[in-house]
Amino acid sequence: MALKGEYYHLFAMSQCGPDAFIILKESTDWDLDKEAYPMTSWDHLSSHFMNPTYIDLLFYLKGVPILGKYAKNALFNHLSYVYDASLNYVSAHEAVESICESVKFYDEINPLTPLHSSHSKKMF
């Protein structure tokens, strides 16, 4: 859930484009739906990025006189989308990792005192 929040934060700050935000959010939803399995959000994302046939076709069509302009535009848009999604994926994961490292868990703060002991109830 922290990743979705970080993706939304990047989107709200105009650091992440709408298409990249949607695919990043979907990849996080994909991981949340399969919580019994390891996170595979990068596999989900890369399956949308890596289509060698499409990229090869765009590079080929760049040289065609009439279609070249449209192919260059489509290639630029695709590469921009991949860059935006990849950059924000890494940025969000680094931010969430630093947040997780800064959080103190109760066991780390006071490992000898049980969470629901009578001593902790006397404090209130």
pLDDT of residue 21: 92
b/e for 67-101, b at 16 or more Cβ within 10 A? eeeebeebbeeeeebbebbbebbeebbebbeeeee
Specify the higher pLDDT residue, 120 or 30: 30
* pLDDT above 80: residue 49: yes
* pLDDT above 80: residue 115: no
Percentage of the chain with pLDDT > 70?
82
How many Cβ atoms are within 10 Å of 21's Cβ, its own excluded? 19
Average pLDDT, the chain: 82
Residue 47: how many CA atoms within 13 Å on its side-chain side? Answer: 8
> Quick one: DSSP state of residue 37?
S
Alpha-carbon gap, residue 16 to 4, rounded angstroms: 13
pLDDT of residue 108: 57
pLDDT tens, 67-103?
A: 999 999 999 999 999 999 999 999 998 998 888 888 7
Alpha-carbon gap, residue 114 to 73, rounded angstroms: 62
Specify the higher pLDDT residue, 61 or 3: 61
pLDDT of residue 121: 45
